[in-house]
């Protein structure tokens, strides 16, 4: 059964708020008014991306019969906040800990890859919604707001996917790579393409290419 402890809910909320603030700082600079303005928009993408990423790990862990619980990493949160002032976010606020006496590399890899796959799927969903409302965004403030929210959601989720797939330390990528090199290459390649497109072409130009204008 999918259960949460009170401390787990608390840790998820704290991490969600701080990571949202970090991405707002990256997008708005050090302008407090700009940060406050963009924060609600960023929270949609981060909320979906961060929470569902962690729930992906938890769901697969519990599917295999293990108890899994998200725990905050205060040092990671602080480091994320510090790096945000330098234009990027080292997004490691905590992790889902799976409690097991023994776990194969395959199961560990499948649990680890679940989070980044969730982010990739969310990025594509945000992009699809942004594409569907783009033409009406020129005449509707509601459509424009949805487009902006989805553009940010696409960028954040594609970044979270590629970041977590890096084979560094205790990040997901290390465990996926240990399990299956081919799957790791394919997954990080997809995430990297989505992220690079967001950073170089821009979401609006991606949408324009999709709809052919």
**Which position has the token pair 């991405």?**
23
Rounded (5°) CA angle 44-45-48: 80
Catalytic entry in 8, 54, 69, 106: 54
Euclidean distance between CA atoms 33 and 20, whole angstroms: 15
Q: Is 54 a catalytic residue?
A: yes
Q: What are the two backbone dihedrals, phi and then psi, of residue 71, each rounded to the nearest 5 degrees? A: -130, 135
- 120, 199 contact by CB (below 8 A): no
**Which position has the token pair 């701080």?**
18
Euclidean distance between CA atoms 121 and 158, whole angstroms: 9
Per DSSP, the chain holds a count of helices (H) and strands (E) of 9, 2
What the block records as the tokens of 121 is 């799927």
Other residues' Cβ atoms within 10 Å of the Cβ of residue 149: 20
Euclidean distance between CA atoms 190 and 54, whole angstroms: 20
Within 13 Å of residue 200, how many CA atoms lie on the same side as its CB?
6
Question: Which residues belong to the active site?
Answer: 54
């Amino acid at each position: 059964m999918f259960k949460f402890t009170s401390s787990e809910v608390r840790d998820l909320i704290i991490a969600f708020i701080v990571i949202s603030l970090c991405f707002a700082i990256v997008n708005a600079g050090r302008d407090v008014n700009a940060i406050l303005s963009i924060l609600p928009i960023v929270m949609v993408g981060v909320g979906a991306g961060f929470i569902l990423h962690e729930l992906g790990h938890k769901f697969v862990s519990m599917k295999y019969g293990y108890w899994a619980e998200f725990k905050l990493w205060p040092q990671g949160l602080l480091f994320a906040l510090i790096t945000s002032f330098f234009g990027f976010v080292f997004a490691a606020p905590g992790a889902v800990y799976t409690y097991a006496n023994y776990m194969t590399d395959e199961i560990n890899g499948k649990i680890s890859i679940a989070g980044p796959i969730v982010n990739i799927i969310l990025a594509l969903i945000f992009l699809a919604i942004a594409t569907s409302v783009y033409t009406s965004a020129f005449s509707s403030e509601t459509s424009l707001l949805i487009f902006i929210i989805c553009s940010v959601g696409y960028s954040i989720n594609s970044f979270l996917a590629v970041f977590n797939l890096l084979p560094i330390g205790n990040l997901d990528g290390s465990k996926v790579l240990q399990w299956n090199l081919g799957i790791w290459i394919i997954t990080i390649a997809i995430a990297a393409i989505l992220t690079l497109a967001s950073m170089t072409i821009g979401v609006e130009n991606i949408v324009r290419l999709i709809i052919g204008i």
